[in-house]
Structure 1
Amino acid sequence: MFESDASMYRKADLGDLIRRLRRRADLSQRELAARAGVPQPTIARIESGRTGDPQYRTIERLVQALGGRMHVELAPGSGRDADALAEAAPVPHDEMRDLAGRRYPAHLDVWEVREPRDWPGAWWAEWYRLPPRQWPLPLPPATFRLNREYRNERRNRERVRHSVAVRRVRSGVPRTAWRFAAELPGGELVGELRAHQESAHLRWGDGAGPPKEETVLDGVLVTFAYRRLGIGRRLVAALIDTLGADGAVCLRAVTVQPGVSFLLACGFRLEASRPSALRFEPLPPRQQSRRR
């Protein structure tokens, strides 16, 4: 709701309001300009505060194109404000600036680049993990994705990150086993951990001393679309907290990459004294005959 008084514009911070509504509608300035029939430079001036008194019809077109509606209240001193149109969440990266001092587009998700994996342009980051002196390209201060599908996927992943809950499942689980589930508010299962208790005394036949109980991590599974959100670490942490409440924690696991890197990040250490993993695959008959 807007009043005709010029002070109302200052209270509403019109440029900030348009940016918020534009982010909620997921529209760039060019897309909003095409939808509202307002030149893109005009929208840029309004959002930056360089247009002190924009025309009412211009604002009405913008608000309507963004899914809102305008209402003029002529009675002075009514005490009404623009809170009704300010329900949209603030643009989270409004304080960030690029190297030229400009704000980043409001409808995009902008994040700070601290290391190569934060930047989609660093295609070499995950493969080589190069030291800074060998980086093929300089890293920008911040980055974003223009592709709308990537944007929606990232926003959905962030919602999952903050809404997923980890709980222990007791029904149908033996007394010497553990199961933890990571679920979304609607009950969708997105991650699971299973472990069981094992006696090292029985496994190795060592009769010296009392039997030592170990907990064997059978597996940690996370839905592919929601990996690298910390769900796996939360599952492992829940198991460790439960074991710690019952006494000393002794947790063992056997895995291959990328499981090795994941468990190392969870606090595990490589145990060189354990047997190595071996693999046998029969050769085709033709290759076997050559060996003979």
Structure 2
Amino acid sequence: MAETADRVDLGGSLRALRRRADLSQRELADLAGVPQATLARIESGRSGDVRFRTVERLVRAAGGRVAIGIPGDQASDDRVPEVVPVPGVPHDGLRDEAGRRYPPHLDAWEVHGPRDWPGAWWAGWWNLPPQHWPRRLPAATYELSRERRDRRRWGERIRREVTVRRVTNDGLPGTCWRFVAELPDGRLVGELRAHERDPRLLYGDLIDAGEREIVLDGVLVAGPCRLLGIGQRLVAALTAEMERAGIRVAHAVADFGGVDLLLACGYRIEGRGHYAMRLDRAWLGAALLPGPAPLQP
């Protein structure tokens, strides 16, 4: 925690540190050896004069550091380590019905409909008008499960950090298109492959010689990174590249979740009786093996 203005928002800084450390108010108070009531007064701004030792113990217990200096120290002396400001609590402005802040170490969000409220997972309200909802929705809600909370925050970090690009130097023919989704450290979390085809192979001379079409071969996203929008970003990158190349039509065969993905990206089901086909040579070989010889009397 560093002082960057004439007055430090001590309560806001402690809430931000607690969120970063994923600690409840009681957990931080126990770690620092400070009464929870004292911490609650500091965070709410009701404690006007706080002892420096109390602040130091709370900050250190939350994984932070108290820094004291004069303007220019960090710029003029390379030996002084840089102090990184703690990101604030995203939902610090939300209040419950009693006007209280939601716990900063949790993830709170506004509730606009039943889908925003995990407490309504059991209710089939989704298509009902509000006047027929059996319960009134809260203004906001939060996630209590640490496991789901960590997974949600991890997913948000992946969304922020992942980048999508077209690979052009992998030795593939120019008619083969490859897009990858990767993290800053180079880890691959998604891939899309497609190829161009000449529609005259299907329709003969009825199609202009300059026409080209794209066939989407497949979209793959690493299991833990699914449902984070990476597949849609890969398909969007393909669509943008098609526009630059002047290609208007793309074809795909999809099943299971791939159908929903492509529908969300603007594709439509043509209903021409396409089938997803598979050749499994191991299965074929097993089917052709002779059965066991009959038992001899």
Equivalent residue number for residue 119 of structure 1: 117
Alpha carbons of 1:166 and 1:9: their partners in 2 closer, same or farther (altered >3 Å)? closer
Give the ranges of 4+ consecutive aligned residues of structure 1 lying more than 6 Å apart after TM superposition: none
Equivalent residue number for residue 54 of structure 1: 50
Equivalent residue number for residue 285 of structure 2: none
Alpha carbons of 1:278 and 1:27: their partners in 2 closer, same or farther (altered >3 Å)? closer
Alpha carbons of 1:224 and 1:129: their partners in 2 closer, same or farther (altered >3 Å)? farther
Q: Describe the SS at the equivalent of 1:182.
A: strand
Q: 2 CA distance for matches of 1:214 and 1:71?
A: 61
Equivalent residue number for residue 161 of structure 2: 163
Would you say 1:131 and 2:131 are equivalent positions? no
Unaligned runs of 5+ in 2: 73-81, 279-297
Q: Describe the SS at the equivalent of 2:179.
A: strand
Q: Describe the SS at the equivalent of 2:7.
A: helix
Q: 2 CA distance for matches of 1:232 and 1:175?
A: 23
Unaligned runs of 5+ in 1: 281-292
The C-alpha deviation readout for 1:118-152, integer Å capped at 9, x for no partner, is 33333258x88433446555432222222222222
Alpha carbons of 1:227 and 1:135: their partners in 2 closer, same or farther (altered >3 Å)? farther
Q: TM-score, normalised by structure 1?
A: 0.79
The C-alpha deviation readout for 1:163-190, integer Å capped at 9, x for no partner, is 1111111213222121100000001110
Alpha carbons of 1:146 and 1:258: their partners in 2 closer, same or farther (altered >3 Å)? same
AA aligned opposite 2:140: A
Q: TM-score, normalised by structure 2?
A: 0.77
Equivalent residue number for residue 284 of structure 1: none
Which range moved further: 29-38 or 8-17?
Answer: 8-17
Q: Describe the SS at the equivalent of 1:111.
A: strand
Would you say 1:34 and 2:33 are equivalent positions? no
Displacement of 1:71 in angstroms is 7.1
Equivalent residue number for residue 75 of structure 2: none
Alpha carbons of 1:278 and 1:156: their partners in 2 closer, same or farther (altered >3 Å)? closer
Contact map agreement 1:109 1:144 (CA 8 A) in 2: yes
Equivalent residue number for residue 177 of structure 2: 178
The C-alpha deviation readout for 1:241-280, integer Å capped at 9, x for no partner, is 11111113211112123222211111112224x2344899
Equivalent residue number for residue 289 of structure 2: none
Displacement of 1:45 in angstroms is 1.2
Number of residue-to-residue matches in the alignment: 267
Q: 2 CA distance for matches of 1:221 and 1:136?
A: 41
Q: Describe the SS at the equivalent of 1:12.
A: coil
Q: Describe the SS at the equivalent of 2:118.
A: coil
Q: 1 CA distance for matches of 2:39 and 2:25?
A: 7
Q: Describe the SS at the equivalent of 2:197.
A: strand
Q: Describe the SS at the equivalent of 2:143.
A: coil
What is the root-mean-square deviation in Å for CA atoms of aligned residues? 3.2
Equivalent residue number for residue 199 of structure 2: 200
